[in-house]
Amino acid sequence: MAGWGYSLNKDRQIDFDANDRSVYFRVIGLEPSLGKCISCGSCSATCSSAVFTDLDIRKIFVLLSRGELRDLKKHLDDCMLCGKCILVCPRGVNTRNVILTIRKELEY
Amino acid sequence: MEFDLFVLPFSLCLLYLTVYLGITYYRWFKALPENERSKARQYALTSRSLSAIREVFMESLLHRKMFRKNPLLGYMHMSLAFGWFMLIVVGNIESRIASGTHINLPYYPIFFKFFHHQKDSFPLQAGFNFIMDLFLLMVLSGVVLAFIKRSRSRLFSLTRTTNHTMVDRAALFSLWAIFPLRFLAESLTSAQFENGHFFTHNAGLVFSHFLPVSDLMYPAWWAYSTALGVFFLALPYSRYMHIPTEVFLIFLRHYGIKTTRSDNAFSKFEIYSCSSCGVCIDTCQLNAVFEKNPVPPSYFFKKERHNMPDEIALTSCLVCGRCQEACPVGINVNGIRLNARNREEIPGKGGFADFQYRFPKKSKALYFAGCMTQLTPKIKRSMRKIFEMAEVQVYFMDEHETICCGRPMMLSGQYGQAEELIRKNKMIIEESGADLLIVSCPICYKVFVDDYNLNLRILHHTEWINELIMEKKIILNQNDLKTVYHDPCDLARGEDIYKAPRQVLKSFTHLAHNEYDGRQSLCCGGSLGGLKVSFEERKKISEDALDRMKVASSDVLVTSCPLCKKTFDTVSAVPVMDIAELVAQSMKTKKANNKPVKETRLENQLKIY
């Protein structure tokens, strides 16, 4: 059946009851500007690391806010902290510090 | 040897202080890595020690740098330090001559006037009395100034003075009390035994009119001894720990020992050498943001001493280095602050080494724009134009893909990952075989120069453009623009490059001077060092900086850092340009080869002719 062209999609339901949003709330407490994010993706578009890796800052923020923490840490490590994303953010989110804060929070 | 009970507070506390300091310094010195300690042993008996002694005299006693900051402030520190030092030295000589022995107990010279009443009992007694009175007067004038400084700090060019902790205050009050009490005790003694000179003698005469001199004399000596004792007790736990520590610091610094990223042990000496003089407080631009600004080193070090790091002081600092520039003790503030950030380093998985970078072909010269320059394409375009005009073949290293230079990682204390980025970039640069690296971003430039150990010439584009103009490889049209040049922190303070850009601008525009030129420059507010500074706070800092530089009166604000440009651009009413843009705009096309200046956009290997 494998080469037949059909497969089962993975379930994309977001289960807020099962997900852990506490990290998101802790991060937003430490870096309130994250609350202003509109997921426009400017940060991802300008990202220097994204050329080399799967790092997608917008996705990270969205996953974090949904409490889907599984792949977060792996991607966060690809960030070079160059700070370009702060400059392009139309909402003034301190993206670099959000990433540092998430790293710290996930560590504990 | 004469003795009286009242010397006990002084003597016992001095003994305690000596033992405490001995143990503390021994432990700090032991904590230094072996190779650093061997430096101290190696150089101890060389001329380095002599120059250290000279510096101790000039800075710790005469406070030369303080005089430069403000003469009144300098005099205040000098009179207290040098005056007190001379009282101790002259007092020791005097008492030794008087007693005819070589060894004295430490209290004897301090309370000499109490024990020694006879007139003309040793040679030059009147002269000694005169000198001792003179220095006592000098110290007292310093105490008066210190007192005035608490309420009228503007006289001393300080808009704010440091806030004190409880122990600081105890030490401060006892310090203020020491010399008036000494003056009182000596004057009262002189009123009885006439062993004073112009100052204490006359004061004694005045006191004798309305005070019961013989009753008060003995308690005054007790009070003097107690004030000294309290000061010695409080000293190790207060900011006055800087008095003995700075001497050690100066010696160790002369032996070449520094705070480095891998070793933080030396910073103990530096942190405790901070006198909280408060010179740094006014320099901190975060004053524009915080009501009570905890960021200046005076406060940051205080928290560090007690191992209670202040979160804001740690994360909000812009690492612009203005405080370090102003510090009269010359403490490596930025290094210590970044090391403190590094304490919380989260070891990342990294993996930067695996980035699939397209390697450059062999090239004589490289151009590294840097991440930030990617966001200011005008700078890139201008640089290309200049490359074309100067007919220099340059390989544009990060045209398509940038690997960060590593400095932003360092600024956030992530040394381990910064190392990895540095290794990767270094490999790319070395692979190219170039002997010249031109960098557009001062942030990158600093780290290339300081940490890469590259065996090639590294130039910031301001320097390079200046060279091109000197060599007449590019010729600029004169114009009537009134320009203000803003020095980026990492370029001016970080790497001492502020003459080249000014030369460039002077050669074809009217460059205005302001008090924030060169190493005194202001931070634009965009610094990557400020981890937690919000967008609104940055804006305030930028506006404040533009105000202070009086940019509004000029036609164009010129800078040489893409980040400064971008930051100022959002708040400035005056157009902001990079020096490369202005130069590229004003270039004369050469007559000899009338090639039109045209932008080339080639894939992969960029050929710029």
pLDDT above 70: percentage of residues in chain A: 96
CA distance B449 to B444: 9
CB contact under 8 A, B401 and A52: yes
Provide DSSP, B554-603. SSEEEES-HHHHHHHHHH-SS-EEEHHHHHHHHBPPPSSS-PPP-----S
CA distance B87 to B84: 5
Does residue B277 sit within a domain?
no
Count of the separate structural domains present in chain B: 3
Shortest CB distance from B408 goes to which of A74, A78, A81?
A81
Shortest CB distance from B534 goes to which of A83, A87, A94?
A94
Average pLDDT, chain B: 90
CB contact under 8 A, B412 and A81: yes
Q: Tell me the pTM.
A: 0.89
CB contact under 8 A, A52 and B356: yes
Does residue B199 sit within a domain?
yes
CB contact under 8 A, A83 and B528: yes
Q: What is the ipTM of this complex?
A: 0.89
Shortest CB distance from A80 goes to which of B352, B531, B533?
B352
pLDDT at residue B372 greater than cutoff 80: yes
The angle that helices B461-470 and B579-586 make with each other, rounded to 10 degrees, is 30
Residues B484 and B451 in one domain: no
Shortest CB distance from A48 goes to which of B344, B350, B371?
B371
Phi, psi at B125, each rounded to 5°: -60, -45
CA distance B108 to B2: 8
* β-strand pairing of B394-396 with B556-559: unpaired
Considering only CA atoms, which of B86, B65, B2 is closest in space to residue B331?
A: B65
- Which residues of A are less than 8 Å from B564 in CB distance? none
Nearest-CA distance from A98 to chain B in Å? Answer: 9
**CA A98 to the chain's CA centroid:** 10
Does residue B325 sit within a domain?
no
Question: Would you call A31 an interface residue with chain B, using a CB distance cutoff of 8 Å?
Answer: yes
Check if the beta carbon of residue B300 is closer than 8 Å to that of residue B267: no
Nearest-CA distance from A19 to chain B in Å? Answer: 24
Residues B436 and B485 in one domain: no
Does residue B271 sit within a domain?
no
Residues B127 and B18 in one domain: yes
pLDDT at residue B523 greater than cutoff 90: yes
Domain end position, chosen among B435, B462, B489? B462
CB contact under 8 A, B534 and A84: no
H or E segment to which residue B394 belongs: strand B394-396
Residues B87 and B225 in one domain: yes
Does residue B165 sit within a domain?
yes
* Helix (H) and strand (E) counts in chain B: 29, 8
Over residues B164-178, the mean pLDDT reads 90
CA distance B395 to B364: 8
Does residue B482 sit within a domain?
yes
pLDDT band at B231 (very low <50, low <70, confident <90, very high): very high
Considering only CA atoms, which of A58, A56, A54 is closest in space to residue A93?
A: A58
Residues B436 and B537 in one domain: no
pLDDT at residue B361 greater than cutoff 80: no
Res B609: pLDDT: 30
**Closest-approach residue (CA) in chain B for A32:** B534
Residues B480 and B442 in one domain: no
- Which residues of A are less than 8 Å from B374 in CB distance? 46, 48, 84
Residues B21 and B133 in one domain: yes
Residues B445 and B479 in one domain: no
Mutation target among A33, A52, A81, A97 for the B interface, most CBs of B within 10 A: A81
**Closest-approach residue (CA) in chain B for A89:** B535
- Which residues of B are less than 8 Å from A77 in CB distance? 348-351
CA distance B343 to B264: 10
Domain end position, chosen among B211, B237, B263? B237
Check if the beta carbon of residue B96 is closer than 8 Å to that of residue B116: no
Shortest CB distance from A97 goes to which of B403, B404, B532?
B532
Nearest-CA distance from A38 to chain B in Å? Answer: 16
Domain end position, chosen among B462, B479, B505? B462
**Closest-approach residue (CA) in chain B for A43:** B375
Give, for all 108 residues of chain A, the pLDDT tens digit.
556 777 777 778 888 888 889 999 999 999 999 999 999 999 999 999 998 998 999 999 999 999 988 878 778 888 999 999 999 999 999 999 999 999 888 876
Residues B225 and B175 in one domain: yes
pLDDT in tens, B270-301: 999 998 888 899 999 999 999 889 999 999 99
Q: B371: domain CATH number?
A: 3.40.50
pLDDT in tens, B394-427: 999 888 888 999 999 999 989 989 999 999 999 9
- Which residues of A are less than 8 Å from B566 in CB distance? 87
Residues B458 and B533 in one domain: no
Does residue B201 sit within a domain?
yes
Shortest CB distance from A100 goes to which of B400, B401, B412?
B412
Residues B485 and B563 in one domain: yes
Alpha-carbon torsion angle B277, B280, B281, B284, nearest 10? -170
- Burial, B176: exposed, middle or buried (Cβ in 10 Å; 0-12, 13-18, 19+)? middle
Res A2: pLDDT: 59
Q: Report the sign of the C-alpha dihedral through residues B592, B594, B596, B600, in that order.
A: negative
Res A106: pLDDT: 86
Check if the beta carbon of residue B580 is closer than 8 Å to that of residue B382: yes
Question: Would you call A103 an interface residue with chain B, using a CB distance cutoff of 8 Å?
Answer: yes
Nearest-CA distance from B411 to chain A in Å? Answer: 10
Residues B82 and B215 in one domain: yes
Question: Would you call B372 an interface residue with chain A, using a CB distance cutoff of 8 Å?
Answer: yes
Question: Would you call A82 an interface residue with chain B, using a CB distance cutoff of 8 Å?
Answer: yes
Mutation target among A82, A97, A100 for the B interface, most CBs of B within 10 A: A82
Res B603: pLDDT: 36
Nearest-CA distance from A100 to chain B in Å? Answer: 9
Res B600: pLDDT: 42
Question: Would you call B527 an interface residue with chain A, using a CB distance cutoff of 8 Å?
Answer: no
pLDDT band at B602 (very low <50, low <70, confident <90, very high): very low
Question: Would you call B352 an interface residue with chain A, using a CB distance cutoff of 8 Å?
Answer: yes
**CB contacts < 8 A (A, B):** 83
Over residues B73-90, the mean pLDDT reads 94
Does residue B345 sit within a domain?
no
Q: Which domain holds residue B574?
A: 470-586
CB contact under 8 A, B408 and A83: yes
Res B521: pLDDT: 94
**CA B574 to the chain's CA centroid:** 32
- Which residues of B are less than 8 Å from A100 in CB distance? 412, 531
CA distance B201 to B216: 16
Question: Would you call A97 an interface residue with chain B, using a CB distance cutoff of 8 Å?
Answer: yes
pLDDT at residue B126 greater than cutoff 50: yes
